[in-house]
Structure 1
């Protein structure tokens, strides 16, 4: 379904290949990195946000709803007890009814990446 590869030459900077696309990741200066790209949590949120926006657009197109521009903001944080949370805020430039907004919230809760993050996924590691 998806494959990426990463290469790290020096320090924390990562060169990421995803199909024909090249990305980078790094830690911010406060974490000892050079801030040459988003940090891993920002990349995780980016995937969740992209999936959310794409899924909402697909759903709205099937319904014949105009959304205009879609904005998704995601905030990751840990509470005092160490629990991890993601807050997702949605906005569209087109006017929507309360019923449409509620239905889109329901759809956002069911996007493929949302489901993966919520349920977790098995990760197997091995040396080449």
Structure 2
């Protein structure tokens, strides 16, 4: 996996509207009105699900291209789904995959297996540890 330099998120001018950059690309995040945001952009959760769905589709596309399979458009829908467990209701992520073109059962099975190996799936399944620290504000922080 390529080294990721990370992203920086800044807000404070328009409630929850947040500018995110990786140093080259910029996108914006907001919260829905029900949570006090302006609902002007997708929510952080939507971006997380979007990262998962797109990474899954891209990984399957790369594999299909190497095998010279022709799935047509690959569509991945990712959503949170409540599931009853012995510990109570828990949120699970559900991915639904469809292919525009007809594939054999074995091809579909293999593409679904490969889709679970995308970097974002691996990261979410591994429960990557996180740490937070406060750093001094500098002119580069803006």
Match for 2:8 among 5, 14, 25? 5
Offset, 1:111: 1.5
Which aligned pairs between 1:1-128 and structure 2 lie closer than 5 A? 1-2=3-4, 3-10=6-13, 11-79=15-83, 81-128=88-135
Matched residue of 1:113: which SS?
helix
Taking structure 2 as the reference length, the TM-score comes to 0.84
RMSD: 1.3
Structure 1 unaligned segments of length 5 or more: list them. Answer: none
The count of corresponding residues between Structure 1 and Structure 2 is: 128
Instruction: Give the Cα–Cα distance (whole angstroms) in 2 for the partners of residues 55 and 79 of structure 1.
Output: 27
Unaligned runs of 5+ in 2: 136-142
How much does 1:35 deviate?
0.6
Residue 6 of structure 1 deviates from its aligned partner by 0.6
CA distance in 2, matches of 1:82, 1:20: 40
| TM superposition shift of 1:32 | 1.1
Shift of 1:9: 2.0
Q: Which runs of 4+ in 1 moved over 6 A?
A: none
